[in-house]
Amino acid sequence: MWKWIRILAVVLVMAGFGVTIAWLMYSDRRLTRQVEGILTTEEISQLRAQSLDYEAAFAKARLSKNVLEEADIKLLEQSLQAQEDYVSARGALGADNYRLEVLRHNLHLIRGESLRVLSNQAEARAMAIAKTQPEEAMKLLRTALENEKEISKKWLFSGLVDPGKIARLDTRLRSLEAEPLWRKGRNLEKEGEDLEAAGKFAAAADKFSQAIECETEFLGRYRDVRDTEFKRVDVLEVKRETALSGNMMIEVDRQIKTAEKLEKSNQWEPASRGWKDAIEAFNQLLVEFPKSRHADRTREAKMIVRMNFARAHDQVTAIYVGVEQLHQQLQARHALAAAQLASTHLATARKLADDNTGAFLPDDPTRQELEFIVNREATLRALLASIDGSLVPLPAPFNRTKIYRQEISQGLYASLMGANPSSLQREAHPVESVSYDDAKMFCKK
């Protein structure tokens, strides 16, 4: 029994599909018969005659007038409507009727050309007054844009649809619309900078926040119509944090001045504590406002060096005193004593440099002098023993200055400079091919 029920259901479904297909296939014929049932053959012919009469009246007006009036264009519209009714009554397709296409094209062309003239006039006027009357220019551009959009929507068969012109008008309009917002953001930024310079940091930060909002809105709406600074929001955020950190930076500067004042009065222990307080305040600024222009890690490093230098001031002073004693030993030609002093003070200088005091780093002149004496102890011993016989004092008033009796030998130059630039190398011969800078360095050593 269920088998027969399933067979019956399949048959009914197939019959339903067949009826639906037949109804769709003959629907246009039913509609045609319905129209034919409404309009007689004479009435259909009369529609065509009306269309021809309206077209003839329009052609007469077109030939006799310089400018078509609205009533004349209405004649063409009536001709087109009558022709459409005629084609529909016959059950034909509009695309198959050449006359219908011509009438439609003519009407769309006239309407489109009229709108195009208005659009061009509005655009030209807007461009002429864009800089002096931006509000009026925007109204004109909106009018031109509406006319072009009407052409693209209502008068498609005119052949005048210009997507490029629509895009150009839209860009010009939005560019003018963007100017007030762009200018507002810059003005807020300038106001914030003035307030920051006046020490009103909270008000300045508020202005920078408003400028950020303007810039964000500008980027969202107008980033494609004028030159855009894509990193401007980041710049404004830096300025805002700089303003917010202004009071903290004032406190840091105050503590720095206190520490420097203590240094000038030779109060080195209190000065080191002053530097420590300044560093702690600056670290708080770094944590709370990392984007601030004041948050400069190199500045923190310099303050640490100043603090360590204040702590190690006595040791640094002792080295400078020791170097003066070393000079006295060298002038007395006591090479061994000078070398011992140099070794002692060099070890202390290296330790101070390793402790990050900022003193006696590898490029420090005093440390380089100590390094030179220690590394060339043997050369100095040999040189100091006989150097007085090779030197001649200059006449007064330069009698404190002495010069060599003869040219500098290659051996002496290589011993002090570590290299011999002479093309023909002979230890006892005069050195040659020495640059001016190397000669100055040799004299200094």
- Of residues 32 and 411, more confidence is placed in 411
Number of H helices, E strands in the chain: 18, 2
Element (H, E) at 392: strand 391-393
Q: Is 199 helix (H, G, I), strand (E, B) or coil?
A: coil
Q: What's the chain's average pLDDT?
A: 84
Q: List Cα–Cα distances, 61 to 83, 106, 303, 358, in angstroms.
A: 20, 14, 93, 99
Q: One fold for both 179-244 and 246-311?
A: yes
**How far does the chain reach from its first CA to its final CA, in angstroms?**
123
Angle CA(102)–CA(106)–CA(110) in degrees, nearest 5? 170
Residue 3 above 70 pLDDT? Answer: no
**Adjacent-strand bridge partners of 404:** 391
The answer to whether the Cα torsion of 388, 393, 399, 400 is positive or negative is: negative
Name 52's Cβ contacts closer than 8 Å, sequence gap at least 6.
79
pLDDT at 21: 65
pLDDT at 369: 84
Give residue limits of the domains in the chain.
Answer: 1-30, 179-244, 246-311, 321-444
Going by pLDDT thresholds of 50, 70 and 90, the confidence category of residue 436 is confident
| Among 333-342, 376-385, 389-398, the range of highest mean pLDDT | 333-342
Cis peptide before 397 (omega within 30 of 0): yes
pLDDT digits (tens, 9 = 90+) for 352-383: 888 877 778 888 888 888 888 888 887 777 77
pLDDT at 205: 93
- The pTM score is 0.59
Q: Pinpoint the alpha helices (H) of 355-404.
A: 365-375, 377-390
* CATH number belonging to the domain at 179-244, selected among 1.10.3470, 1.20.1260, 1.20.58, 3.15.30: 1.20.58
pLDDT at 36: 45
* CATH code for the domain defined by 246-311: 1.20.58
Tokens representing 96 are: 């198959």
- What mean pLDDT do residues 171-187 have? 89
Q: What percent of the chain has pLDDT over 90?
A: 33
Q: Is 295 left (phi over 0), alpha (psi -120 to 50) or beta?
A: beta
pLDDT digits (tens, 9 = 90+) for 32-44: 444 444 667 777 7
- What mean pLDDT do residues 236-259 have? 94
pLDDT digits (tens, 9 = 90+) for 259-293: 999 989 989 899 999 999 999 999 999 999 999 99
- What mean pLDDT do residues 214-237 have? 83
